[in-house]
Structure 1
Amino acid sequence: MRGLISFFADLLKGKKVAFSDFLQKYVSSQQLCQRLDTQKILRRQSRPRREKKERGTVVSSLNSETSQIKPSDFDYLKVIGKGSFGKQRHVMVERSILLKGLQHPFLVGLHFSFQTRKMLYFVLDYVNGGELFYHLQREGSFPEPRAAFYAAEMALALGYLHSLDIVYRDLKPENILLDSEGHVMLTDFGLCKEGVATGGIMHTFCGTPEYLAPEVLQGHPYNPAVDWWGLGTVLFEMLYGLPPFYSCRKAEMFENILHAPLQVHSGGSQAACSLLEGLLERDVSKRLGGSRDLVELQEHPFFGSINWEDLLARKVRPPFIPKVTGPCDVSYIDPVFTLQPVPASVNERCQAGGTSGAFPGFSFVNPVEYLAAEPVS
């Protein structure tokens, strides 16, 4: 269920390699989990009700409110992921992208961010339907209609980011979550790049080896079309169980990405083969989505049954709905995390000295949370 509190602790992520690179996130207390009003759930327990005021007054009030949020305002139930320390630059990139993607139905949203002397915190949408990686491991592959549904929702999210001149750059099953209703939610924006319009170029070598586009691997300038290559690799994996050029030997896999012919398995539809060939085209000038971005994908026959407006409005019933009993159900999250005790260091209840200003402008309160309903009692 979206709206529950999850925490990213420590200095967040560097380069990701698997679900274990997902940073520590924590769900709010059992009492809060039993409430279904998401605005009440996210309301700070000590904050009195405020009436809606003029916009300017609200904005100025938020500046003082952000400095008052602290770890002890929240309780912690379960560890649902764990990762490593990351670079400061990735922390601020993540925050910036989260702010821009708050209103998109297939992007994880930010509710609060704040800092202490030792840690930075993100309070994000809590998504408990499991990683796409988890479901692929369990089922091996998906039927075409299910793969098409997920790929279409991912495409809408990527197209939205591209419309904001943001390139995602790290699409992989570990970064694709399902919410409790079965819809896709992209998360982990630390490797995003801002300010790159369609046709613009980048040079940074980053990403996860299995999903790297050939132009990135070669060190060539690249553009938002790298995300459509990434979608092609994920779609291939959803349909056939492994990334398209996978090898357990990294050097061989890189050679495959650069030169091996695409081996589309028998049994797939002609439309699926055509889409994979278009997305996994090494010549960027010919790659599907390289010219008109999302529109090119929307026109492809593989998505012929998709009503894009209804999909964006979440009116299309997902082909798989996670069987979760409620917002505190973590059955789709790896027990290697959920069975761990919550580290006392994350809470910092006993730490003296208050907050830190090491990252100016990091603290944030979503105005929706500030203006919403009554406080949690």
Structure 2
Amino acid sequence: MAELSVLKANFHHPFLVSLHFSFQNKDKLYFVLDHLNGGELFSHLQKEKHFSEARTRFYAAQIASALGYLHENNIIYRDLKPENLLLDKDGYLVLTDFGLCKEGMTPNTLTSTFCGTPEYLAPEIILKKPYDITVDWWCLGSVVYEMLYGLPPFYSKDHNEMYNRIVNEPLKIKRSISNASTDIITGLLQKDKTKRLGSKGDFNEIKDHEFFKAIDWDKLLRREIKAPFVPRIESETDVRNIAEDFVKIKINPASLAPQNLAMTQRDHDFVDFTYVQKNPMAS
């Protein structure tokens, strides 16, 4: 229900996936979301190894705007990663999957749940310390780094080793990027959250950074900036940009759904789940 609540609040932002309908039967819960067949940012990054600074900036600006909107509505995201960022037909990014979001997070609110994706966890989460919305800016720094270099900043196949690197090892940045790129990555990946870029002014502090000097934020929100890359899409049913593993997933009929879902519904946990967006086909 928390994810449904966040989805209901977010359909006014151009870089957050929109919920059109939600409904249920006795076995399953259903979300009807935007159809986005431009592929995961992760897939495109895997294919191209890394992005140019201009393309990275274009994507990072949209991510920052989306996170800023969530924070403005007292929501912490907590699971930013390339797999949760989808491209639309125009080459713009859309943030999806609000399963780990938490509402009621004002700038001074702390929480302590250990959650997220290992490669992108902020040090304070790994150390099981109370944390705030600035963990989202750490994640942004990790994703910006990955877009420029091809891997997350402290990556290791061994999670324990990776956690040790995130908490204890200094950030290593190659000289192949601009000073502005170096500075924003360094600022976002501050291990001390009180010194992290975004800790003082949240999104406004991010958008004013030199790295985003070339971004016209009003035009970006109106989607008037030409995307540096537009995925090849020939029709609404074109799935060439979607990972084959997802395309091959068989639909699980409602009759085969786990029995415990029906039991929770009887407990009235999902009594208000059904939702219809106003003018759902207009957007």
- Of the candidates 10, 21, 42, which is equivalent to residue 112 of structure 1? 21
Structure 2 alignment gaps of length 5 or more: none
Contact conserved, 2:78 with 2:116, CA < 8 A, in 1? yes
Matches of 1:138 and 1:161, distance apart in 2: 30
Task: Write out aligned runs for 1:353-368 (5 A).
Answer: 358=268, 359-368=270-279
2:205 maps to 296
- Of the candidates 95, 100, 123, which is equivalent to residue 191 of structure 1? 100
Q: Establish whether residue 314 from structure 1 lines up as the match of residue 223 from structure 2.
A: yes
Task: Write out aligned runs for 1:141-220 (5 A).
Answer: 141-220=50-129
Quote the offset at 1:343 in angstroms: 3.6
Secondary structure of 1:204's counterpart equals coil
Matches of 2:48 and 2:197, distance apart in 1: 28
Quote the offset at 1:103 in angstroms: 1.0
TM-score (norm 2): 0.93
Deviations 1:61-105 (A, max 9, x none): xxxxxxxxxxxxxxxxxxxxxxxxxxxxxxx11100000001110
Matches of 1:230 and 1:163, distance apart in 2: 18
Matches of 2:108 and 2:3, distance apart in 1: 23
- The amino acid that maps onto 2:277 is N
Contact conserved, 2:28 with 2:254, CA < 8 A, in 1? no
Deviations 1:38-76 (A, max 9, x none): xxxxxxxxxxxxxxxxxxxxxxxxxxxxxxxxxxxxxxx
Secondary structure of 2:280's counterpart equals helix
Deviations 1:117-167 (A, max 9, x none): 110000011111000110011011000000000000000000000000000
Matches of 1:156 and 1:121, distance apart in 2: 28
Moved more, 225-234 or 330-339: 330-339
- Of the candidates 244, 247, 256, which is equivalent to residue 338 of structure 1? 247
Quote the offset at 1:346 in angstroms: 7.5
Secondary structure of 1:114's counterpart equals strand
Matches of 1:323 and 1:277, distance apart in 2: 34
Contact conserved, 2:81 with 2:143, CA < 8 A, in 1? yes
Quote the offset at 1:341 in angstroms: 4.1
Deviations 1:313-363 (A, max 9, x none): 111111100110011111011122323443444799xxxx9xx66411111
TM-score (norm 1): 0.70
1:131 maps to 40
Give the total of aligned pairs: 274
- The amino acid that maps onto 2:174 is H
RMSD (CA atoms): 1.7
Matches of 2:20 and 2:173, distance apart in 1: 42
CA radius of gyration, larger in: 1
Label 1:251 to 1:340 Cα distance change in 2 as closer, same or farther (>3 A): closer
Contact conserved, 2:86 with 2:94, CA < 8 A, in 1? yes
Contact conserved, 2:27 with 2:255, CA < 8 A, in 1? no
Matches of 2:246 and 2:124, distance apart in 1: 36
2:156 maps to 247
Structure 1 runs, 4 residues or longer, greater than 6 Å off: none
- The amino acid that maps onto 1:150 is Y
Q: Establish whether residue 236 from structure 1 lines up as the match of residue 123 from structure 2.
A: no
- Of the candidates 93, 103, 109, which is equivalent to residue 2 of structure 2? 93
Contact conserved, 2:42 with 2:82, CA < 8 A, in 1? yes
Matches of 2:15 and 2:255, distance apart in 1: 28
Matches of 1:346 and 1:311, distance apart in 2: 45
Quote the offset at 1:199 in angstroms: 2.2
Secondary structure of 1:159's counterpart equals helix
Secondary structure of 1:369's counterpart equals coil
